[in-house]
Amino acid sequence: MKKLFLFCLILHVGMFTSFAADPVKMWGQLQVKGNQLCSEQGAPVVLRGVSYGWHNLWPRFYNKNTVKWLKNDWKCTVLRAAMGTVIEDNYIENPDFALQCINTVVKAAIKNNVYVIIDWHTYYPQKEEAKAFFSMMAQKYGKYPHVIYEIYNEPMEDTWESVKEYATEIITEIRKYDPDNIILVGSPHWDQDLHLVAADPLQGFDNIMYTFHFYAATHGQELRDRVEAAWNAGIPIFVSECAGMEASGDGPLNVPEWQKWIDLMERLQISWVNWSISDKNETCSMILPRADKNGGWDESLIKPYGRLVREYVRKYNAYVYPDKK
């Protein structure tokens, strides 16, 4: 009997260890319960990872090797594929190339068992194009629990009423083909007006979360208070884009303010994704231009902000990816 017990214990530990390196195997089909992202079993889940930069500006990083590297070395549990629908060579102008980039990352995320956000990366509504795109994505990937849909990156000048109308149509289209994967909804003023969401949230949909974006050197305690107030009002929040510098994406890092944001997100168990895997000459681009497009980056190829992102993601995801040494 003791030998049987020991065998079962070893088997259980071995299974947990193998699952622990595969977030989707560990948590399965995500769901929203109250204001909390939860696993298939109903336990709270916090996803932490990075966002690729605009596909139409930094397509070289949109390959299966970076997905594997960001999982295995950076210890990401979620990646965000930012499909640009504005600026030059965007999805509207060149859909075949955009789909090639996005499909490559999504398929690699599925293979590597990490969650992946399909992000409609724009600043103004393109409703009919978005509806057709997300219909296509839901039909293609709706059966996979790995996929999360972000239907509108950052509304700028929209009212909350117009965003709700847009979201209702896109969500309805997605739900024709995918009944349960998480859908992320933005809010006015670059995803920061959560007080408007809290006063009048969407009705009639399950597994919906609301995105919030911050750049720590610009956005401080007033917005942290807004996030917490919305969370206390029962609003499920997902920080799908954040960083430690100014809102321009440039300028100096403010690490103390950044840490305050991280402390808040960890206390409230809010998922967070850092911007971005790109190589522009700006603070928020994490990778140097001479770095290989396929990953394999040592610290000499990662810019200072990127080194901190890697350090934070590895630290807070350590329980998912235990040190095997």
Q: Which of 150, 173, 241, 257 is catalytic?
A: 241
| HEC profile of the chain | CHHHHHHHHHHHHHHHHHHHCCHHHHHCCCEEECCEEECCCCCECCCEEEEECCCCCCHHHCCHHHHHHHHHCCCCCEEEEEEECCCCCCCCCCHHHHHHHHHHHHHHHHHHCCEEEEEEECCCCCHHHHHHHHHHHHHHHCCCCCEEEECCCCCCCCCHHHHHHHHHHHHHHHHCCCCCCCEEECCHHHHCCHHHHHHCCCCCCCCEEEEEEEECCCCCHHHHHHHHHHHHCCCCEEEEEEECCCCCCCCCCCHHHHHHHHHHHHHHCCEEEEEEECCCCCCCCCECCCCCCCCCCCHHHECHHHHHHHHHHHHHCCCCCCCCC
> What are the residues facing 50 on neighbouring strands?
79, 274
Spatial distance between the Cα atoms of 144 and 132, rounded to a whole number of angstroms: 19
Domain annotation for the chain: domains and CATH numbers: 33-316 (3.20.20.80)
The model's pTM: 0.94
What residue type is assigned to position 83 of the chain? M
End-to-end C-alpha distance for the chain, whole angstroms: 31
Res 1: pLDDT? 40
Res 21: pLDDT? 74
Considering only CA atoms, which of 186, 187, 190 is closest in space to residue 218?
190
154 noted as active-site residue: yes
Q: Which of 154, 173, 246, 257 is catalytic?
A: 154
What tens-digit pLDDT sequence spans the chain (325 residues)? 433 333 343 333 343 344 457 999 999 999 999 999 999 999 999 999 999 999 999 999 999 999 999 999 999 999 999 999 999 999 999 999 999 999 999 999 999 999 999 999 999 999 999 999 999 999 999 999 999 999 999 999 999 999 999 999 999 999 999 999 999 999 999 999 999 999 999 999 999 999 999 999 999 999 999 999 999 999 999 999 999 999 999 999 999 999 999 999 999 999 999 999 999 999 999 999 999 999 999 999 999 999 999 999 999 999 999 875 4
241 noted as active-site residue: yes
